Structure 1
Amino acid sequence: MSMIFKPKKDEKLSISPSIHNSSFIIDSYAGAWTSIGERNKIIESKFGDYTYTMDDVTVNYSEIGKFCSIASHACINPVQHPMDRVTQHHMTYRKVDYGFGDQDDHEFFDWRRTNRVKIGHDVWIGHGAIIMKGVEIGTGSVIGSGAVVTKDVEPYTIAAGVPAKLLKRRFSKETAEKLLKIAWWDWPREKLEAHFEELNDTEAFIRKFGS
């Protein structure tokens, strides 16, 4: 992984991930052409090729596809507290820090790990959006700024609000199904370069590759 401190405007990305050295990352993977912005906190998560984050993004226990765009201050799978216990304070599962035991509550952390967020490909997550535990975000969807997503989001739809609700579909179901079938995000770099300009015209793109 490469570190970039205050990258210049003409700084180019590369096959190696570009990760700002102010970000805190534990046990995570970033694919080719990825970019992680300033002051990110990323725990046990995976980023597909070409996905990028802006500043002050938090990602915990999540699987994020390729070509995703994550705006600043987004929070994916935020920290949870045990509301069923007498106290919600994290001392009950961080026992060592507070001198209440020799081991932390591993069951609680295992529960967090099993409730992973799964985000498809080419998803745009707006500024300050929150994606709650266990949610699946479909490929090609848009999550509005400030949204709190508590339920799964279908592919190629736009969801916003608190809690987030379906606002509209980006394309007809037929078009969405064809794009999912084409799966351009899995194309090798050479094919993507050859047809790069064609990504700007959805109808022509489907006519050419959707048969």
Structure 2
Amino acid sequence: MAHTHIASFNVVQAAQLGEAPSIAPNAIIKNCSFGRYTEVGEQARLTDSVLDDYSYLERGCDVMSTDIGKFSNIAAMVRINPGFHPMERPTLHHFTYRRAKYGFASEDDASFFAWRQRQRVTIGHDTWIGHGVVIMPGVTIGNGAVIGSNAVVTKDVPAYAIAAGAPAKVLRQRFTKSIASAIESTAWWDWDHATLAERLEDFNDLRRFLSRYAE
């Protein structure tokens, strides 16, 4: 599926979502790609990231170097892949890599920022990230996972798990393994818009949905 790539923008939010992303006028976008029916809320900031089809970010989110799957629901004030200070160095302060800012060199430490970009976060399809969550560098969130409000996620969260706390811990699974596997087998997040519209009512009943579409 083709994505819309935006290096910078001045896009007004649409009343109804469509092929082009809907982005709040005061959001900040740098080197990101957007799928169809995507939405970015007020004062959000995205850098070097992908927001796939039907996913949205509410107001005040700050996302860096992250791949977000389809149909992901990301609440307000979420921080994904925040800046990580080098704890193994004699100092935590960023003058060692933001060198130009302090007059120590003509350029910053490119190797440090390249390392940061490699610590990408991956968020699967149909996830729910609660208000105020922080997801640390390098973490993977599986399909269908739920992260409770204000959690600090330092480790991977399995598919269809519910995790909460600081640091976040898995509380339980949303479904049994057999039901989760059946949902995965439908790969419904890859259905086209017309198919989703045709089968919309089936999403209201898990048993009916799986009986019709699970392999």
TM-score by length of 2: 0.93
Deviations, residues 132-179 of structure 1 (Å, cap 9, x unaligned) = 111100000100000011111111110000110111111111110111
Please state how far the C-alpha of 1:4 moved relative to its aligned partner.
Answer: 2.4
User: Could you list the per-position Cα deviations for residues 71-125 of structure 1 after superposition, in whole angstroms to 9, with x for gaps in the alignment?
Assistant: 0110011111111112211111111111110111111111111110000000000
Partner of 1:98: 102
Letter in 2 for 1:3: V
Equivalent runs, 1:48-87 vs 2, <5 Å: 48-87=52-91
Q: Report the equivalent of 1:19.
A: 23
Report the Cα distance in structure 2 between the residues aligned to 1:48 and 1:28, rounded to whole angstroms.
11
> Who is 1:47 aligned against?
51
Q: Match for residue 191 of structure 2? A: 187
Trace 1:91-170 onto structure 2 (pairs within 5 A).
91-170=95-174
The question of 1:206 aligning with 2:199 is answered no
Return the match for 1:4 from 5, 12, 15: 12
d(CA) in 1 for partners of 2:26, 2:207? 42
Contact 1:16 1:34 (C-alpha < 8 Å) held by counterparts: yes
Identity of aligned residues (%): 45
Q: Alpha carbon RMSD of aligned pairs, Å?
A: 1.2
Q: Contact 1:2–1:18 at 8 Å: present in 2 too?
A: no
- Return the offset for 1:2: 6.8
Say whether the 8 Å CA contact 1:19–1:37 is kept in structure 2: yes
| Amino acid corresponding to residue 81 of structure 1 in structure 2 | H
Q: Is the 8 A contact 1:34 1:50 kept in 2?
A: yes
Task: Give the number of equivalent residue pairs.
Answer: 207
The letter for the 1-side match of 2:114 is D
SS in 2 for 1:171: coil
Gaps of 5+ in 2: 1-8
CA distance in 2, matches of 1:100, 1:135: 33
In 1, the alpha carbon distance for the partners of 2:202 and 2:46 equals 34
CA distance 1:150–1:119, change in 2 (3 Å): same
